[in-house]
Amino acid sequence: MAEAALAVRDLEVRYGPVAAVRGLTLEVGRGEIVGLIGPNGAGKSTTLHAIMGLVPARTGEVAVAGRRMLGRSPERIAAAGVALVPEGRRIFAEFTVEENLQLGLAARRGRYGRAALSGAYELFPVLGEFRRRQAGLLSGGQQQQLAIARALVAQPDVLLLDEPSLGLAPSLVDSVFDVLTEIREGGFAILLVEQRAQRTVALADRTHVIANGELRLTLGPGDADDTEKMVAAYFGG
């Protein structure tokens, strides 16, 4: 059996005495979207940060295509083919759109290719149009596109998204989910942390619900319309 693109096993992360993530196990295969939903403070973002090496894990293992990641620095994990679209986008507001995308190439050992950027401009034409503009001048939705494009130019194997729809108007939320649908064809392994539970469940191949740092249950796309199950998932029923 082939290795999962991303495998997390028995992950435990503590902030001092507080366990933020406890014994979390999940896998994401190539071409899959796996959702991670749950209330605020459930440990969703912490899980992504631990995978990315931004916070140390206490125990457990994170493997990308079978290679162990824990203990590596974020830049080495990025170079191993993991890209994070961070919460709040974290674009470089005073840099141009193009410079932001070029930063996305930092994880790649190869040359400073213009080709990688043209792929991003194809996917997000508005970024091509505004490529010399300061990124901070883009609208919220455009900035989110930039954050996703910046992660994609690195051509990662694993794409982590931390609440990409946060703070966006409903129509823009649609466009974010449309983009995710589009890029799943690219063969990425996508781990999507979201607050919009129903849409995430409907989109993802499977969605894990976590609360208090623990995996509570796993939902399939068919459960999206089962309101009772969704509510129960959130309120620990």
Partner 1 sequence: MTALAAVDAQTLVDSVGLGAIYALMAVGIGLVFGVLRLVNFAYGQLIMAGAYTLAFTANWRVGWSLAACLVVVVALSLAMELAVFRPLRGASPAVMLVTTFAIAFVLQAIALLIDLRDNTLGEVATSVAPLNQAITLRGVEVRKITIVAVIVTVVVLALLALLLNRTRIGLHMRAASTDFSTARLLGVRANRVIGVAVLLSGVVAAIVAVLLTVQLPFVQPDFALRETIVVLVGVVVGGIERLWTATLGGFLIGFATGIINGALPTDQTVFLPSAVFALVILVLLLRPSGLFISGRPAAERL
For partner 1, the binding residues (CB under 8 A) are 52, 54, 73-75, 78-79, 83-84, 86, 90, 92-95, 99, 102-108, 112, 150, 154
> Looking at beta carbons only, is 25 or 73 nearer to partner 1?
73
State the DSSP string of 9-55. EEEEEEETTEEEEEEEEEEE-TT-EEEEE-STTSSHHHHHHHHHTSS
Q: CB of residue 57 vs partner 1: minimum separation in angstroms?
A: 16
Angle at 40 between CA 13 and CA 10, to 5 degrees: 25
> Looking at beta carbons only, is 13 or 83 nearer to partner 1?
83
Q: CB of residue 139 vs partner 1: minimum separation in angstroms?
A: 19
> Looking at beta carbons only, is 22 or 49 nearer to partner 1?
49
Partners of 18 in the β-ladder: 15
- β-sheet with 18-28: strand ranges across: 18-28, 6-15, 59-64, 67-68
Q: CB of residue 109 vs partner 1: minimum separation in angstroms?
A: 9
> Looking at beta carbons only, is 15 or 231 nearer to partner 1?
15
> Looking at beta carbons only, is 102 or 143 nearer to partner 1?
102
CA distance 215 to 3: 22
Q: CB of residue 47 vs partner 1: minimum separation in angstroms?
A: 15
Q: CB of residue 104 vs partner 1: minimum separation in angstroms?
A: 6
- β-sheet with 214-219: strand ranges across: 82-85, 158-162, 189-193, 33-37, 206-211, 214-219
Dihedral, 122, 127, 128, 134 alpha carbons, nearest 10: -160
Cα 96 to chain centroid, rounded: 23
Q: CB of residue 225 vs partner 1: minimum separation in angstroms?
A: 36
Give the other-Cβ count within 10 Å of 8's Cβ. Answer: 23
> Looking at beta carbons only, is 75 or 225 nearer to partner 1?
75
Q: Taking the chain, what is the end-to-end CA distance rounded to the nearest angstrom?
A: 35
> Looking at beta carbons only, is 52 or 197 nearer to partner 1?
52
CA atoms within 13 A on the CB side of 158: 29
Q: CB of residue 3 vs partner 1: minimum separation in angstroms?
A: 22
CA distance 232 to 2: 34
